[in-house]
Chain A
Amino acid sequence: MKVLLVDDSTTMRIIQHRCLNVLGIDDVVEAEDGRQALTHFEQTAFDVVLTDWNMPNMDGLALLKEIRSRNREVPVVMITTEAERKRVVTAIQAGVSDYLVKPFTPEDLKAKLQKWVAAGV
């Protein structure tokens, strides 16, 4: 199980990375923005992508569209403060697999990750 974890906040990457480790996922590649993530995505096969929405250089929605133009199957989970219905619909139309709104409790995050990690095993 290989996970691409994308967030411009080091704090959020640490929180999510630890959560993945608790779930037994140690093969995690981190990226600070969509552009960096896309470079990783083009070089490596990932089982799950976890991405923030608001990031510099390339945001999560643009990253999602780039990923979907290359790969329709890989689960992409948006973990973001963007909670409005319109935004969620936009992400769904772009091909997002699942959505988790910040702030989340550790239990919320674990449940969401567990679902996609289990699906990818």
Chain B
Amino acid sequence: MTVSAPNARSSQLTAEYVNPLIVATRNVFAAMLGCVPNRTGLRLRSADDPRHEVSAVIGVTGKAVGTIVLSLSQQAACEVLQRMIGTEAAQITGEVCDAVGELTNMIAGASKAQLAKYELSISLPNVISGNNHRIHFPSNVRPMVIEFESEIGPLTIEVGFTGV
């Protein structure tokens, strides 16, 4: 028995999702926040990589199964709310979480539209905040991290997929 085959398939699926996510992130930010983030890095995620303080998590199911995580600083999350509806926030509130969750929902939706062959469905977003919070991907998935710089600050998109 070998475990390399599912991991190879997982890596292929994850890699296939990277470009659609980059395109979707840039388009969604442009439309909803009035700024276009620049991709500054792309790497495999290691287990102890720190995240920003706020993460929105969306599950994806269909002919592939995976997770997409948008992570950004508290300040950037508050700026998302301000840019979307003009409401100022100095800390993480329900309104901030809703705005970040909806932004992530749009990114996940726009990216899956570019991968129609997998007939993907997305879950409702969950938003997690706090320093050093942890989000665990399945053990056979090696997530990738796409790093961006933007007017509202740095952000990352993590993506990890596996076959079904």
Q: What is A's interface to B at a CB cutoff of 8 Å?
A: 8-12, 14-15, 18, 54-56, 80-86, 101-105
Interface residue B7 (Cβ < 8 Å from any Cβ of A): no
Q: Tell which of B24-32, B128-136, B156-164 binds the partner.
A: B24-32
A113 to B141, CA, bound (A): 43
Residue of B nearest to A102 (CB): B106
B104 shortest CB reach to chain A, Å = 10
Please state if A12 and B102 are interface contacts (CB–CB under 8 Å): yes
A103 to B34, CA, bound (A): 12
Please state if B106 and A81 are interface contacts (CB–CB under 8 Å): yes
Please state if B95 and A10 are interface contacts (CB–CB under 8 Å): yes
Please state if B116 and A85 are interface contacts (CB–CB under 8 Å): yes
Please state if B85 and A11 are interface contacts (CB–CB under 8 Å): yes
- Decide: A83 near B84, CB < 8 A? Known: A54-B124, A103-B32: no
A101 to B109, CA, bound (A): 9
A110 shortest CB reach to chain B, Å = 14
A4 to B97, CA, bound (A): 24
Judged by DSSP, the binding face of B is: helix
Could you give 7 example pairs across A and B, Cβ below 8 Å? A9-B102, A11-B84, A56-B124, A81-B108, A86-B119, A102-B110, A103-B27
Please state if B105 and A86 are interface contacts (CB–CB under 8 Å): no
B106 shortest CB reach to chain A, Å = 5
A14 shortest CB reach to chain B, Å = 5
A85 to B119, CA, bound (A): 11
Judged by DSSP, the binding face of A is: loop
Closest 3 CB pairs of A and B: A81-B109, A103-B31, A83-B113
- Decide: A84 near B113, CB < 8 A? Known: A15-B85, A56-B124, A103-B106: yes
- Chain B residues lying within 8 Å of A81, measured Cβ to Cβ, are 105-106, 108-110, 113, 122
B13 shortest CB reach to chain A, Å = 18
A76 to B102, CA, bound (A): 22
Please state if A11 and B102 are interface contacts (CB–CB under 8 Å): yes
Residue of A nearest to B116 (CB): A84
- Chain B residues lying within 8 Å of A15, measured Cβ to Cβ, are 84-85
A86 to B112, CA, bound (A): 12
- Chain B residues lying within 8 Å of A11, measured Cβ to Cβ, are 81, 84-85, 95, 98-99, 102
Please state if B98 and A9 are interface contacts (CB–CB under 8 Å): yes
B68 shortest CB reach to chain A, Å = 12
Interface residue B37 (Cβ < 8 Å from any Cβ of A): no
A8 to B32, CA, bound (A): 17
- Chain A residues lying within 8 Å of B143, measured Cβ to Cβ, are none
B6 shortest CB reach to chain A, Å = 26
- Chain A residues lying within 8 Å of B84, measured Cβ to Cβ, are 11, 15
